[in-house]
Structure 1
Amino acid sequence: MNHPPLIKRDITEVQDVVLRRHSPIHAAGPVIEFGNWSQSDPFLGMMEDKFQAGSFDDHPHRGIETVTYVIDGTIEHYDSVSEQGGMLGPGDVQWMTAGSGVIHNEVPSEGITAHTLQLWINLPREQKMTTPRYQNLKGTDMPVRQEDGALVRVFSGSSSDVVSPTKNHVPVTMVEVSMESGASITQDLPGSYNGFIYILEGSGTFGSNGVNAAKSQVLWLGAGIDGELSEIQATATEPLRFVLYAGEPVREPVAARGPFVMNTEEEVNEAFREYRNGTFLKH
């Protein structure tokens, strides 16, 4: 059966990610700056953090999902939903749906410096107050797609005919790609998806315009066409590892302050009121 050719996406922007020290135990830098909602939709922002125990206190979220990818080290997490913790190591992902509200914390194991990426995904209006849930995605449990010199680990969505069981409120593809020098691969995406790549190791060329990029750079994918399938190509010029995130834009008003992201300022104010008066988790 012949499939129509996929529309090839280019790379429209490449930026360096720089971590700055916020304290003796915490350095961080934005992979995606918060506040550019229309350009990054459905993604609200992403931070890269290197931190030790004591960097963060217990804190709330509402109206979003957070996707935490562990690059190095181990983190122990606690949440108000399950009232129990868990452990994540290198290559593991925690997919947290805050929905109506959670209080949680992620703490590196004692004496360990954890290195993580944390992405915030907007939830659409009808899902803002959905029931919270956690999905702990061990890298070793995720389905993989193998090509010549390349391995694609599918944390969410699909890669070719390999499909992840991860549940989404907003359709999101998240893959981790490891490639040998000289290998090439393409990742298929719906044309409506907005997306980006972050390079963890090595260097390569990306997109139909053959953009060169290397470790600690973020690359934005050019737009596809709604209703048409598309693909993004990568070729490794040395051993290469990157993560790709792409998702369906929500296209709704965003009111964001602190840990809460809603559609209106009044909804954000209500979240703060409930957090202060102790009714935040009673939904």
Structure 2
Amino acid sequence: MSVEIISKHHQAQGAFDFGRIRENKPIGFPHEPGGANSMSNLFYWAHAWSDTGGLIDTHPHQGFEIMSYVISGKISHYDTKYDRWLDLNAGDAQVIRAGNGISHAEKVLPGGEFFQIWFDPDLTKSLKKEASYSDITASDFPVTETDNGSIKTIIGEGSPMKIDTEGVEIKEVSDISGSWKMDLDSDSIYTVYVLEGEGQTGYGSVVPNDFLVLRDESQLTIDFSTSARLFVIQSPAKVSYRTYAEGQTF
């Protein structure tokens, strides 16, 4: 059994556009100090924001599947496949299936905040596919109301967002108050980003921007003292193919 809590201070840090866009990275690139290493088919996870607005200029991607999820405000996306800018608002998401290659750029509007998360599909298959992407508006994601919070399924049963990377489920849980419990599958790895809320677990306290990694656990319980919002990714403990982190090459 294993639970790790990584504070924002101990995550990798980054910036774009002369510091106009800032990042903390719970899972950084392999050469970056801080944060967790890539795990399963979850390769990279960055939390980015801009107070003034900023640009991440055009750059290429290949093979990986890249999801952007807008936490607050607005971002705008450009890609070379469709040659147009598209706005994404709070709660919207986009996945780029980079396939055999695509270039894109992002603008973060003032006050914008988003996650960018890279998933690692079977490169022997994904590199042979034409690049494609999907944009999903917030209202199209299914939401389930529970006794203690609303669960929005971003990837998983009922969601229109599909990726080739196997065994991934993503949920955002909001409006949590008091004690929150989640049953866990021992065959999965769970990563949890605390967007809002202060609470206590059996492994220590959590505050906003903390990142939890759980392996071989049957349940996670957090007793929150303030209203909370969590972003949860479930990944398979074992992947059926060799991942990029394990030496799969382009």
Pairwise TM-score range, normalised by the shorter structure: 0.7 to 0.9
Question: Which residue number corresponds to residue 252 of structure 1?
Answer: 242
* Per-residue deviation, residues 226-266 of structure 1 (Å, max 9, x unmatched): xxxx654444331000100122354515279xxxxx822xx
Bigger mean CA offset, 169-178 vs 27-36: 27-36
Question: Counterparts of 2:14 and 2:85 in 1: how far apart (Å)?
Answer: 29
* Per-residue deviation, residues 136-188 of structure 1 (Å, max 9, x unmatched): 12222210111113100000014xxxx32321212211110013321424255
2:178 to 172, 176, 182: 182
Q: Give the drift of 1:218.
A: 0.2
* Structure 1 gap ranges (5+): 1-9, 225-229, 257-261, 268-283
Over 6 Å off, 4+ runs: none
Residues 147 and 185, structure 1, Cα contact 8 Å, conserved in 2: no
Classify the secondary structure of the residue corresponding to 2:56: coil
Question: Which residue number corresponds to residue 116 of structure 1?
Answer: 114
Which amino acid is 1:263 matched to? Q
Question: Which residue number corresponds to residue 5 of structure 1?
Answer: none
* Structure 2 gap ranges (5+): none
Equivalent residues, number: 237
Classify the secondary structure of the residue corresponding to 1:56: strand
Question: Counterparts of 2:245 and 2:235 in 1: how far apart (Å)?
Answer: 20
Question: Which residue number corresponds to residue 280 of structure 1?
Answer: none
Percent of aligned pairs with the same amino acid: 24
Residues 44 and 121, structure 1, Cα contact 8 Å, conserved in 2: yes
Question: Which residue number corresponds to residue 46 of structure 1?
Answer: 45
Q: Give the drift of 1:53.
A: 4.8
Residues 35 and 44, structure 1, Cα contact 8 Å, conserved in 2: no
Question: Which residue number corresponds to residue 229 of structure 2?
Answer: 241
Question: Which residue number corresponds to residue 131 of structure 2?
Answer: 132
What TM-score do the two structures reach when normalised by structure 2?
Answer: 0.82
Against the structure 1 CA distance between its residues 104 and 62, is the aligned structure 2 distance closer, same or farther, given a 3 Å change threshold? Answer: same
Question: Which residue number corresponds to residue 84 of structure 1?
Answer: 84
Question: Which residue number corresponds to residue 7 of structure 2?
Answer: 16
Question: Counterparts of 1:253 and 1:92 in 2: how far apart (Å)?
Answer: 28
Which of the two has higher C-alpha Rg? Answer: 1
Q: Give the drift of 1:45.
A: 1.4
Residues 148 and 183, structure 1, Cα contact 8 Å, conserved in 2: no
Question: Counterparts of 1:253 and 1:164 in 2: how far apart (Å)?
Answer: 25
Which amino acid is 1:182 matched to? G
Which amino acid is 1:192 matched to? D
Question: Which residue number corresponds to residue 201 of structure 1?
Answer: 196
Question: Counterparts of 2:172 and 2:139 in 1: how far apart (Å)?
Answer: 12
Question: Counterparts of 1:94 and 1:122 in 2: how far apart (Å)?
Answer: 16
